[in-house]
């Protein structure tokens, strides 16, 4: 056996006597005595007696921990639906085809490019896609309902609304009722702003591109070809619309749709702007 050193034995003896001795006994008795009067005064004496003798040593059960908000959110959150998987799988294919469309120029036709360019000065009031704004909409056939023919559209644009304020213009039987000039505000006259070819281009843009007009007839194609030639030979920066130009527009326009129009047709040697009369002979327009 191993010999236990003397000083360690002494120490353990002292510890034993301390536990069972005066100091230890007094400490353990004290809580029992002090808790008795408190319990007796708080509750009925009969019930208090055993409770005082047998103090409940179990600590009160801790309240259940609240579930943190982020855990609750995670449990309540909807799971990703199954149909998302093929969508995610198809994304790269879509991205490739989308990138392909981005690289293609919208059009190489100088007519379409320049017509859109001139329309830039109207877009602020009529909307970039012709959906309307301060001014009327052109899209969804709206402009075609007001002006079944391009020539009346051109005359109205060049002259503006102030010159015929209060007068009816356009198709009086148009859906939603005929137009009264100035009823919606001021359409600024374009005579001092546009050349005749610019007027043709912008009206073409509003009708064919924004308004969805059918351009397939030979007379329409002839007009489009004429505008391409004008762009290439004269360009857009010609003189602005003159009084003679305005007279030509009014001679060609329909008196039913354009106040002040004569409907005489173009004088000899001149051509009414807009889609050419069918048959190819400009004289047939009159």
Where do contacts with ligand HEC occur on this chain (CB under 6 A)?
121-122, 124-126, 134-136, 143, 146, 153, 156-157, 161, 170, 179, 181-188, 190, 202, 206
**Closest distance to ligand HEC from the beta carbon of 74 (Å):** 55
Could you tell me which residues come within 8 angstroms of residue 70 by beta carbon, excluding any fewer than 6 positions away? Answer: none
CB 198 within 8 A of CB 118: yes
**Closest distance to ligand HEC from the beta carbon of 233 (Å):** 23
**Closest distance to ligand HEC from the beta carbon of 285 (Å):** 21
**Closest distance to ligand HEC from the beta carbon of 249 (Å):** 13
Nearer to ligand HEC, 52 or 146 (CB): 146
Nearer to ligand HEC, 52 or 115 (CB): 115
Residue reference for tokens 């064919």 = 208
Nearer to ligand HEC, 156 or 276 (CB): 156
Nearer to ligand HEC, 187 or 246 (CB): 187
Nearer to ligand HEC, 176 or 269 (CB): 176
Could you tell me which residues come within 8 angstroms of residue 201 by beta carbon, excluding any fewer than 6 positions away? Answer: 111, 114, 115, 118, 227, 231, 236
- Rounded Cα distance between 20 and 15, Å, is 9
- CA-closest candidate to residue 196, choices 232, 234, 222: 234
- CA-closest candidate to residue 147, choices 110, 187, 112, 197: 187
**Closest distance to ligand HEC from the beta carbon of 265 (Å):** 22
**Closest distance to ligand HEC from the beta carbon of 105 (Å):** 24
Nearer to ligand HEC, 161 or 195 (CB): 161
- Rounded Cα distance between 230 and 61, Å, is 95
- Rounded Cα distance between 17 and 37, Å, is 31
């Amino acid at each position: 056996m191993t010999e236990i050193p003397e000083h360690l034995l002494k120490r353990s003896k002292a510890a034993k006597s301390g536990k069972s001795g005066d100091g230890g006994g007094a400490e353990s008795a004290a809580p029992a005595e002090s808790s008795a009067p408190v319990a007796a005064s708080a509750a009925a004496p009969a019930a208090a007696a055993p409770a005082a003798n047998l103090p409940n040593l179990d600590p009160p059960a801790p309240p259940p921990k609240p579930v943190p908000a982020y855990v609750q959110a995670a449990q309540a959150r909807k799971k990703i639906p199954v149909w998302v998987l093929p969508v995610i799988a198809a994304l790269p294919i879509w991205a490739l085809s989308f990138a392909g469309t981005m690289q293609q120029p919208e059009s190489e036709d100088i007519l379409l490019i320049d017509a859109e360019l001139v329309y830039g000065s109207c877009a602020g009031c009529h909307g970039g896609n012709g959906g309307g704004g301060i001014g009327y909409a052109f899209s969804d056939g709206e402009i075609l309902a007001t002006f079944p023919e391009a020539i009346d559209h051109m005359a109205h644009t060049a002259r503006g609304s102030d010159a015929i304020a209060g007068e009816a213009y356009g198709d009086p039987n148009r859906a939603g009722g005929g137009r009264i000039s100035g009823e919606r505000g001021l359409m600024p006259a374009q005579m001092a702003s546009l050349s005749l070819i610019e007027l043709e281009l912008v009206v073409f843009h509003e009708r064919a591109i924004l308004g969805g007009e059918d351009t397939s007839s030979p007379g329409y194609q002839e007009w489009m070809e004429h505008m391409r030639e004008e762009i290439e030979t004269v360009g857009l920066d010609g003189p602005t619309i003159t009084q003679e130009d305005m007279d030509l527009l009014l001679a060609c326009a329909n008196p039913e749709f354009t106040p002040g129009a004569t409907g005489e047709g173009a004088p000899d040697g001149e051509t009414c702007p807009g889609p050419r009369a069918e048959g190819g002979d400009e004289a047939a327009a009159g």
